[in-house]
Amino acid sequence: RHLASDLREALENRELDIHYQVQTSISTGQITGYEALLRWRHPRLGNISPAEFIPLAEESGLILKLGAWVLTEACLRAASWEPPYKVAINLSPVQFAHSDLPKLVVEALLASGLSPSQLELELTETTIFADRDRSLHMLRQIRALGVSIALDDFGTGYSSLDTLRSFPFDKIKLDRSFMSEVESSPQAKAIIRAVLALGKSLSIPVLAEGIETAGQLELLRLEGCDEAQGFLLGRPAPLQQLLDEGHIVA
Ligand code: G
Ligand code: G
Ligand code: MN
Ligand code: NA
């Protein structure tokens, strides 16, 4: 297989698409935003998961081009949403390591007319870990634009507590692995409680990922979690489908 070289052509061949997954306030049930999730429809192999092709794009450096496309495209789409929900975009470590990132973000905002307050960038602890001084400088530059930053997959990386102490985050996204065990494992539930308490005391809202059942959502509500995302609330879907079903007006 020559996936890596196929990927190089995928963008031009319009095989890449962005799906959007809803994020909801647990207390009000209202939509707060949508996470942009890249999809690849390979002409012969069918749908390929980003978990498979993002690493290839990172190795080849193609991720810079793909990432710039996702950023521009998602900002452009979100700029016409009514009401103006947030759009959350995943950043790869390679994109974050590139000093052009703030410029790229500014360009995407200007080209789309999207308000900076409508844009959230998601990054993981692994992304920040490589060079912490540089990462802090980069995060400050991006936040100075009025763009918010979410810490993705929280709880799976290392040095979690130090990361929270040292970096300015606007949201913590609690990794979905805790959710699958929350109803059966007292340990998972205890960790969720601890993270929610941490978020409260640091005044950082927490979003629980991977909510699949009403029981999980109810438990998170009782524990005071702020936002939820997961198949129960909505699967990632093409924008056109969300428009057709009336979830988004544009
Ligand atoms: O959507 P799905 O659960 O299949 O995504 C798998 C992984 O790919 C997740 O970790 C997600 O963050 C990542 N991913 C999805 N879209 C993008 C993207 O546009 N850029 C980057 N860097 N990662 C993405
Ligand atoms: O790493 P990141 O959180 O960006 O990854 C998001 C991925 O999680 C997407 O690929 C999306 O398809 C997947 N996802 C979203 N909601 C759920 C869910 O409720 N259950 C499971 N198993 N995966 C989910
Ligand atoms: Mn994410
Ligand atoms: Na995540």
Neighbour count for residue 146 (Cβ, 10 Å): 12
Distance of CA 210 from the midpoint of ligand 4 (Å): 8
Token pair belonging to 134: 């540089």
* Ligand 2 binding site (Cβ under 6 Å of any ligand atom): 21, 37, 90, 152-153, 176, 209-212, 230-231, 236
The pLDDT-based confidence of 131 (bands split at 50, 70, 90) is confident
Q: What pLDDT was estimated at residue 163?
A: 87
Distance of CA 39 from the midpoint of ligand 1 (Å): 8
- Nearest residue (by CA) to ligand 2, atom 23, is 210
Neighbour count for residue 194 (Cβ, 10 Å): 11
Q: What pLDDT was estimated at residue 22?
A: 98
Mutate to test the pocket of ligand 1, among 66, 90, 92 (most ligand atoms within 8 A of CB): 90
Ion ligand 4 residue ranges (Cβ < 5 Å)? 152-153
Q: What pLDDT was estimated at residue 159?
A: 61
Which residue, among 79, 75, 85, has the nearest Cα to 108 in the 3D structure?
75
Instruction: Say whether 87 sits in a helix, a strand or coil.
Output: strand
With a cut of 80, say whether residue 114 has pLDDT above it: yes
pTM of the model: 0.97
With a cut of 70, say whether residue 1 has pLDDT above it: no
Which domains does the chain show, CATH number per domain? 3-244 (3.20.20.450)
pLDDT tens for each residue of 7-66: 999 999 999 999 999 999 999 999 999 999 999 999 999 999 999 999 999 999 999 999
Evaluate whether 233 touches 22 at the Cβ level (below 8 Å): yes
Distance of CA 157 from the midpoint of ligand 4 (Å): 11
pLDDT tens for each residue of 59-76: 999 999 999 999 999 999
The CA–CA distances, whole Å, from 40 to 7, 68, 146, 209, 231 equal 9, 16, 31, 22, 20
What ligand has the least distance to the C-alpha of 70?
1
d(CA 68, CA 12): 14
With a cut of 70, say whether residue 134 has pLDDT above it: yes
Q: Look up the ipTM and state it.
A: 0.97
Quote helix, strand, coil % in the chain, to nearest 5: 45, 20, 30
pLDDT tens for each residue of 142-171: 999 999 999 999 998 776 788 888 899 999
